């Protein structure tokens, strides 16, 4: 097994070695619990009540006996929240993308994927036997060029994009993607993992953000694991899509369904979000404020109406050094490096959450000041 050690050592030499850090005792500034729903008292209460009644695990896959009213109720509220006819749950966002994209796109089809899409989409595209075309990040002229050139050679056509890009926090231009998909007769698959609870006036996601309507060729995937503070994922679309996925998505068919207590807690989180729409606006205000403060300290940081604020460092070694300096001060702010982002595009991915108190923010600001770039002469 010497090769294992050699491979890991190579990662260390390249500053690409990863280790899991125990979160306890640290102030976490990089989670995706944007709306502070994961430990909302009502969410916890609902989950505990269901846990007592159903036990810990669901016991089987959804198609065997692992489908309960808590799964059904969550699917119904998610479909309604997203404004789509139907919704199907999956075990996680990774499993949802893998299962749905693999089930939809096959041999003889073409998949068009943004170069910065999440790893689960990349893996799903590889797993499907469709021909894969990667277009430059949010470069829809490039996408159209590709569509113009090759669309006619394939049966089915699928355009896949994150709605909010997870490591940059920027937003796909949904109206343009819709126009192209209509013109070239493609299905548009949007990963709304970081858009759900974040975009639009009420956190519905990308369609609300751009004032767009759902159309039948649109599939929206989302996760429960980020702004909704739970675990698991879902794919929304037409009734026909849901029926098809239940029959064809292997990660749904051959994997145990979500624990009922998680479904019940997540349903309560959606209810809270719908009742307390102010959370979405408050998150935006806080993100903008923090962005301004970090920019004022001299960081190269970006804000795109989302709570993901990447602080660009570029060099992997430097990113690790900065992360370690912050750890010394009790702050957890992970260094994101290749292969999560491209080489020499390392960053500290700061995320904003309603969990942060003013005291937390002061702690963060003091720590960030200590690692801020020197002022320009």
Ligand X SMILES: Cc1ncc(COP(=O)(O)O)c(C=O)c1O
**C-alpha distances in angstroms, 65 versus 58, 68, 91?**
8, 8, 15
**Dihedrals φ, ψ of 113, to 5°?**
-130, 135
Which residues are registered as beta bridge partners of 331? 27
Tell me: does residue 92 bind ligand X (CB under 6 A). Answer: yes
From residue 243 to residue 272, the character string flagging contacts with ligand X as x (rule: CB under 6 A) and all else as - is ------------------------------
Q: How far is the CB of 94 from ligand X (least distance, A)?
A: 4
On whether the CB atoms of residues 174 and 206 are closer than 8 A, the answer is yes
Question: Can you tell me which of 29, 34, 94, 133 binds ligand X, judged by CB under 6 A?
Answer: 94
User: What's the min distance (Å) between Cβ of 77 and ligand X?
Assistant: 18
Q: Are strands 110-114 and 131-135 parallel, antiparallel or unpaired?
A: parallel
120 binds ligand X (CB under 6 A): yes
Residue whose C-alpha is closest to residue 174's, from 124, 132, 120, 220: 220
Q: Could you tell me where the DSSP H helices lie in the chain?
A: 2-13, 41-54, 69-82, 93-104, 119-127, 140-150, 174-183, 206-210, 239-248, 250-253, 260-275, 278-296, 316-328, 358-371
**Which residue from 38, 89, 76, 71 is spatially nearest to 260, judged by alpha carbons?**
71
Decide if residue 166 touches ligand X (CB under 6 A).
yes
Q: How crowded is the C-beta side of 213, counted as CA atoms within 13 Å?
A: 2
Q: What is the rounded (10 degree) CA torsion for 312, 315, 319, 322?
A: -100
Minimum CB separation of residue 116 from ligand X in Å reads 10
Decide if 348 contacts 311 (C-beta within 8 A): yes
Q: β-strand 346-351 against 308-314: which pairing, if any?
A: antiparallel
The reply to whether 58 sits near ligand X by the rule CB under 6 A is no
Using the minimum distance from each CB to ligand X, give the nearer residue, 70 or 349. 349
State yes or no: residue 138 binds ligand X (CB under 6 A): no
Nearest residue (CB) to ligand X, 118 versus 151: 118
- Contact status, residue 74 vs residue 267, Cβ threshold 8 Å: yes
Q: How far is the CB of 9 from ligand X (least distance, A)?
A: 27
Q: What is the DSSP string of 139-162?
A: -HHHHHHHHHHHGGG-SSEEEEEE
| CA pair distance 130, 319, nearest whole angstrom | 37
Separation of alpha carbons 94 and 124, rounded Å: 9
Looking at the Cβ atoms of 194 and 323, the one nearer to ligand X is 194
- At 363 the three-state DSSP class reads helix
Residue closer to ligand X (CB basis): 193 or 320: 193
What phi and psi, each to the nearest 5 degrees, are found at residue 28? Answer: -85, 120
Q: Does 223 bind ligand X (CB under 6 A)?
A: yes
If you search the block for the tokens 């006996």, which residue do you land on? 65
* 128 lies in the binding site for ligand X (CB under 6 A): no
- Residue number, 50 or 92, with CB nearest to ligand X: 92
Nearest distance, CB of residue 150 and ligand X, angstroms? 26
Q: Is 170 in the site for ligand X (CB under 6 A)?
A: no
* Closest residue to ligand X: CB criterion: 93
Q: Could you say which of 40, 82, 118, 347 contacts ligand X (CB under 6 A)?
A: 118
Q: Which stretch binds ligand X (CB under 6 A): 43-51, 190-198, 324-332, 338-346?
A: 190-198
Q: Which of 160, 193, 320, 348 binds ligand X (CB under 6 A)?
A: 193
Nearer to ligand X, 58 or 223 (CB): 223
Shortest spacing between CB 197 and ligand X, in angstroms: 13
* Structure token pair of residue 67: 């489908």
Q: Is 234 among the residues that bind ligand X (CB under 6 A)?
A: no
Question: In the complex, what is the shortest distance from the CB of residue 65 to ligand X, in angstroms, rounded to a whole number?
Answer: 24
Residue carrying structure tokens 């998680």: 262
The span of 86-94, 127-135, 291-299, 317-325 binding ligand X (CB under 6 A) equals: 86-94
Choices 78-86, 93-101, 141-149, 357-365; region in contact with ligand X by CB under 6 A? 93-101
- Residues that bind ligand X in the complex, under the rule CB under 6 A: 92-94, 97, 118, 120, 162, 166, 191, 193-194, 223, 225, 233
């Amino acid at each position: 097994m010497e090769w294992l050690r050699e491979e890991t050592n190579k990662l260390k030499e390249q500053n690409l070695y990863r280790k899991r850090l125990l979160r306890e005792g640290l102030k976490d500034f990089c989670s995706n619990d944007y709306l502070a729903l994961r430990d909302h008292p009502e969410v916890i209460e609902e989950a505990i009540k269901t846990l007592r009644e159903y036990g810990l695990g669901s016991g089987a896959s959804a198609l065997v006996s692992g489908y309960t009213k808590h799964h059904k109720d969550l699917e119904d509220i998610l479909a309604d929240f997203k404004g789509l006819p139907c919704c199907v749950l999956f075990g996680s966002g990774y499993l949802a993308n893998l299962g749905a994209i693999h089930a939809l796109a096959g041999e003889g089809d073409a998949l068009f994927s943004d170069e910065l899409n999440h790893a689960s989409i990349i893996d799903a595209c590889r797993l499907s036997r469709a021909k894969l075309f990667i277009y430059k990040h949010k470069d829809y002229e490039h996408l159209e060029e590709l569509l113009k050139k090759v669309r006619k050679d394939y049966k089915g056509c699928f355009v896949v994009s994150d709605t909010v890009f997870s490591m940059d926090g920027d937003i796909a231009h949904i109206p343009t993607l819709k126009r192209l998909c209509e013109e070239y007769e493609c299905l548009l698959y949007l990963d709304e993992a970081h858009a759900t609870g974040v975009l639009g006036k009420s956190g519905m996601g990308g369609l609300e953000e751009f004032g767009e309507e759902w159309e039948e060729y649109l599939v929206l995937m989302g996760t429960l694991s980020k702004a909704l503070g739970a675990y698991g994922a879902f794919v929304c679309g037409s009734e026909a899509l849901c029926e098809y996925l239940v029959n064809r998505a292997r990660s749904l068919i051959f994997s145990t369904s979500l624990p009922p207590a998680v479904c019940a807690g997540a349903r309560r989180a959606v209810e809270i979000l719908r009742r307390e729409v102010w959370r979405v606006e408050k998150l935006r205000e806080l993100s903008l404020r923090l962005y301004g403060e970090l920019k004022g300290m001299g960081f190269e940081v970006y804000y795109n109406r989302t709570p993901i604020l990447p602080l660009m460092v570029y060099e992997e070694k430097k990113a690790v050094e900065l992360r370690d300096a912050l750890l010394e001060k009790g702050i957890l702010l992970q260094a994101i490096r290749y292969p999560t982002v491209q080489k020499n595009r390392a960053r500290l991915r700061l995320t904003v959450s309603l969990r942060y108190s003013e005291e937390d923010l002061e702690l963060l600001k003091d720590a960030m000041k200590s690692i801020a770039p020197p002022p320009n002469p």
